[in-house]
Chain A
C-alpha cells in the first residue's frame, strides 16, 4: 500500500498546449496529441496553480508543446506567480517577442528555459523542422539576459547533434546562460517512435559525458551544467520523476493529472481530471497515483534490492514499453533480464545509421511536414 498520506509534491509541470511550431522527432509528448479546442481555460489553470501551491509545490514549469502558443500565457504566468510558485517557462523561443517577454517579466516570470536543437543554423533548423528557428532563438536568448531573467539553454541530445555537445557548452556561455541542460533523449512518445533514428553509439555518448564533466569543473561559478544520461547504456535506472507520485505532478493540456508525462502509456490506470477533482484530492486519492507508491507493488529483483529507495525500480513507463509490464524492473537496470537485450538493440540501431524520421505533428490540424533528411 501507499504511504499514507503521501508527502507533498515539489514540482508541477503543466503542458499548457500540445501546439508547437517545431516538429522535433525527439519530443516526449505522446503520439496522440491533444486538440487545441479541448485545452483547459485560463481560470481552471489558475485554480490548479493555487491548489498546487497550497499542496506544497514550489516550482511550476510552464511547458507544452510551445507554451507561448497560448494567448493567455502572460495571464497564466501571473496566476502562477501570484499563487507563490517559482515560474519557469520552457520554450522553443518561437513566438516570443520583446513585447511578450516584457509582459511575462512584469507578470513575475522567474526563469526562462530555451531549447536549441543544434548549435548552427543548418543543424538546428533541420532537427527542429523549423526554418529561421536558430536566428530567432538567439534573439530570444539575448533579450532574456538583457531583461535580467536567468536563462537556461536546453539541448536535447541524440545521434544527430551528439557531436555538438562541446559547441552547446560554448553557445550557452556565449549567450550568457546561467545553466545548461545536456539532456540525452529519453525514449518516450515521439522519441520512442523515432528511437532507431536518434540512438547514439555508446562510445560517443561516453566521450560526450566526459566532456561535460570536464566543462563543469572549468566553468564552476559561470555555468551550471545539468546532464540527463541516456539510460539504455546505463548500469542503473533513473529514479524516474523522483519516484512515482513522490515529487512531481504533470497536468496535460486537457487537465488530466499524471505522475509523469508518459504515464498514459500504461494501460489500466485511470487518471483523474482537474475539471472533476481538486488537485490535492487527486494527489492523495487517485488510485493511479497510488499504484506505484511505496514498495509493495515491486517484483524481484527490485523488491529485495538495496537500491529500491534510491531509484524505485526505475521508470514504470519504460518497464511497460520495453518489458511489457509496468511492475517489472526497468530494463535500464543491469539486474533486469532484458538489460543486455536493450543495450544490444540500442547499439545495433546506432550502428545501422540512417532510419526514417517521423516528424512530430498534430495530425488533424497541421499540414504534413516535408520529408526529413
Chain B
C-alpha cells in the first residue's frame, strides 16, 4: 500500500473486483481474481458508498447517521475494514 487511508481518500473497488448478491447462497460477495470474499450486510453497506466519488469523511458521516452511531467509532471500524480489503488488493483509494 502506497498512501495511507485518510478522510480525504475516495475508496473504490478497482477494475476486476465486483460486488454482487450471491442469490444461490443468500449473501453479499466480492468477486476478485480467483477469490470470493463473503461480506456481511454492514460491509456491503460501507462498500456501496465506496463509489470513488465520496470521500471517507462523507462515508463515515453517512454511516453514522444511518446507524445512529458515533462518528469516531464508525471511522475506526470502517478504516480497519477498508485497510484489510486494501491489503488484499480488492480496494483502492
Contact = CB atoms under 8 A, between A and B. Distances in A.
B79 interface: no
Contact of B18 (A88, A110, A148, A226): A110
A362 interface: no
Contacts of B87: 220-221
B16 A111 contact: yes
B25 interface: yes
A86 B18 contact: yes
A113 B18 CA distance: 17
B89 A224 contact: yes
A8 B25 contact: yes
B24 A111 contact: no
Contacts of B46: none
Most buried by A among B1, B22, B89: B89
B89 A10 contact: no
Contacts of B25: 8, 56
Nearest to B24: A56
B32 to A, nearest CB: 8
A110 B17 CA distance: 8
Contact of A86 (B15, B24, B31, B86): B31
Q: SS class of chain B's interface: helix, strand, loop or mixed?
A: mixed
Contacts of A223: 89
Contacts of A88: 33-34
Give the interface size class of chain A: 20 to 34
A171 to B, nearest CB: 17
Interface residues of B, number: 21
Contacts of B15: 148-150
Nearest to A147: B15
Contacts of B18: 86, 110
B1 A111 contact: no
Nearest to A88: B33
B89 A58 contact: no
Contacts of A179: 33-34, 89
A110 B13 CA distance: 13
Nearest to A179: B33
B7 interface: no
B36 interface: yes
A152 interface: yes
Contacts of B17: 150
B60 interface: no
B14 interface: yes
B29 interface: yes
A256 interface: no
Given A8-B25, A150-B16, A178 B33 contact: yes
Contacts of B32: 150
A339 interface: no
B37 to A, nearest CB: 11
A143 interface: no
A129 B33 CA distance: 28
Given A150-B16, A178-B16, A224-B89, A55 B33 contact: no
Nearest to A105: B15
Contacts of A149: 15-16
B66 interface: no
Given A178-B16, A220-B87, A224-B89, A113 B22 contact: no
B89 A59 contact: no
B73 interface: no
A223 B36 CA distance: 17
A351 B37 CA distance: 42
5 contacts: A110-B33, A149-B15, A150-B16, A150-B17, A179-B33
Interface of A: 8, 10, 55-56, 58-59, 84, 86, 88, 110-111, 113, 148-150, 152, 178-179, 181, 220-224, 226
Smallest CB-CB A-B distances: 10 pairs: A56-B24, A150-B16, A221-B1, A111-B33, A86-B31, A8-B24, A148-B15, A221-B87, A178-B89, A111-B16
